[in-house]
Amino acid sequence: MGIDYSQLHDPNAEYTMRELSAETMGVTRERGGGRDVEITDIQTTMIDGNFPWTLVRIYTDAGTVGTGEAYWGAGVPELIQRMTPFLQGENPLDIDRLTEHLVQKMSGEGSIGGVTVTAIAGIEVALHDLAGKILDVPAYQLLGGKYRDEVRVYCDCHTEEEADPDACADEAERVVEELGYDALKFDLDVPSGHEKDRANRHLREPEIEHKASIVEAVTERVGDRADVAFDCHWTFSGGSAKRLAERLEAYDVWWLEDPVPPENHDVQREVTQGTTTPITVGENVYRKHGQRRLLEEQAVDIIAPDMPKVGGMRETQKIADLADLYYVPVAMHNVSSPVATMASAHVGAAIPNSLAVEYHSYELDWWADLVEEDVIEDGYIEIPEKPGLGVTLDMDAVEEHMIDGDELFDEA
């Protein structure tokens, strides 16, 4: 029998001066009009996709169930189990208070950033699905309404010959012509054959020229049929990133993503402000507090929060609001199943500065099978008008693709 993480002893959680439960705050659970609903349980199931996705379900005494998803990673199901008692008996409609309640209760266990925030985000997404179903409105309506009926999707592309410029160009053309995407992304942190030391973050000139050859081949092949971004996965030194970004100024680069490690904002700012190549960052910082300096110091041209990682749907909207103060567009990083992908699309519909949402699973032929509805069509996500997120899990597909050893959560 495994550990029951909901029963772990944590003095910080058991006594906090900023206790935000309904009981402590004096918030009534009774709302009227069919809104008298209480949370009874939270369960998770992990899917063995191209990432180990954690699906989250919140159950209520009314029988209504909300489904969400946390960013992938070890420890998320245990943390969600740990937090379940903090929400049992609460009315799920108080999404913002309940999210902040979890942040406060888990402050001693790392709710400033990292996997604890990710676990909270998965619950928060499920709360939006649940609240939408209770109120009979789509999730975007809970965020203030929509700016657009559909959200653009950019396809994260790969090839077995990822270091071959012609192979990348061939794949780019295939994705545009056969799959219908007009926005793409390729990796640039690929072996060039010119490396001398993979640890020092330094790019030699032949390495820069190799990366430029990939950018040239892809952008020239697709021309104006698609926008193309390139990802560096926080690999290079500040000086190397500057030289690479300057070298790429000659090409039509949609953006250069994460050229330097995320910890040092000063270096990030210098790289961004030292080039006309658009620089995108954001997936490796948490909550609006983590994104603040990037925006206030104008250290990014495009912000890229990962919604089920940074804190959830409302937190991403708050980041977008902050970005809008600096006229910065939002391109949401996303490596999720159809559940969080659709949740990101709802956020993208509700914010004015949405640029695109990532799709990272085009090589996984069963990705779309996890839900009953079509999600991506011709490179766009049409925002559903059904209550909540508007997607319904195919439980047979979920069970088929579960992580070995995990248990399937209860039916809705």
Per-residue model confidence as pLDDT tens digits over 7-54: 887 777 676 778 888 888 888 877 888 899 999 999 999 999 999 999
Q: Look at residue 230 and give its three-state secondary structure.
A: strand
Buried b (16+ CB within 10 A) or exposed e, 93-130: bbbebbbebbbbbbbebebebebbbbbbbbbbbbbbbb
Start-to-end Cα distance in the chain: 26
Residue 10 has a pLDDT of 72
pLDDT digits (tens, 9 = 90+) for 283-311: 999 999 999 999 999 999 999 999 999 99
Q: With contact defined as beta carbons under 8 Å apart, do 257 and 231 qualify?
A: yes
Other Cβ atoms less than 10 A from the Cβ of 362: the count is: 17
Rounded CA gap, 201 and 212, in Å?
17
- Global confidence as pTM: 0.96
pLDDT at 376 over 90: yes
pLDDT at 1 over 60: no
User: Where does the pLDDT of residue 321 fall: very low under 50, low under 70, confident under 90, or very high at 90 and above?
Assistant: very high
Residue 123 has a pLDDT of 98
Residue 407 has a pLDDT of 94
Q: Look at residue 120 and give its three-state secondary structure.
A: helix
Question: Would you say how long the chain is, in residues?
Answer: 412
pLDDT at 57 over 60: yes
Query: Start-end ranges of CATH 3.20.20.120 in the chain?
Result: 143-386
What is the rounded average pLDDT of the residues 266-272?
A: 97
Residue 348 has a pLDDT of 98
250: CB partners within 8 A, 6+ apart: none
Q: With contact defined as beta carbons under 8 Å apart, do 353 and 320 qualify?
A: yes
pLDDT at 369 over 70: yes
pLDDT digits (tens, 9 = 90+) for 58-106: 999 999 999 999 999 899 999 999 999 999 999 999 999 999 999 999 9
Q: With contact defined as beta carbons under 8 Å apart, do 361 and 50 qualify?
A: yes
pLDDT digits (tens, 9 = 90+) for 170-221: 999 999 999 999 999 999 999 998 888 989 999 999 999 999 999 999 999 9
Look at 378 and 19; give whichever has higher pLDDT. 378
Residue 382 has a pLDDT of 98
Query: Strands 227-231 and 302-303: what pairing?
Result: unpaired
Residue 109 has a pLDDT of 84
Q: With contact defined as beta carbons under 8 Å apart, do 332 and 338 qualify?
A: no
Q: Considering the domain delimited by 5-137, tell me its CATH architecture.
A: 2-Layer Sandwich (3.30)
pLDDT at 388 over 60: yes
Rounded CA gap, 344 and 5, in Å?
29
CA 345 from chain centre, in angstroms, equals: 10
Q: With contact defined as beta carbons under 8 Å apart, do 66 and 92 qualify?
A: yes
Residue 355 has a pLDDT of 98
Residue spans of alpha helices (H) in 196-331: 205-222, 238-247, 265-273, 287-296, 307-310, 313-325
Query: Strands 279-281 and 302-303: what pairing?
Result: parallel
pLDDT digits (tens, 9 = 90+) for 107-154: 988 888 999 999 999 999 999 999 999 999 999 999 999 999 999 999
Q: Closest Cα to residue 131, out of 119, 117, 142, 120?
A: 142
Residue 313 has a pLDDT of 98
Look at 351 and 1; give whichever has higher pLDDT. 351
Domain 143-386 CATH superfamily: Enolase-like C-terminal domain (3.20.20.120)
pLDDT at 359 over 90: yes
Query: Start-end ranges of CATH 3.30.390.10 in the chain?
Result: 5-137
Distances in whole angstroms, Cα of residue 64 to Cα of each of 67, 133, 325, 376: 10, 7, 38, 26
Amino acid at 378: D
For 189, the token pair is 């942190």
User: Where does the pLDDT of residue 389 fall: very low under 50, low under 70, confident under 90, or very high at 90 and above?
Assistant: very high
pLDDT at 324 over 80: yes
pLDDT digits (tens, 9 = 90+) for 396-410: 999 999 999 999 999
Buried b (16+ CB within 10 A) or exposed e, 207-228: bbebbbbbbbbbbebbeeebbb
What is the rounded average pLDDT of the residues 363-378?
A: 97
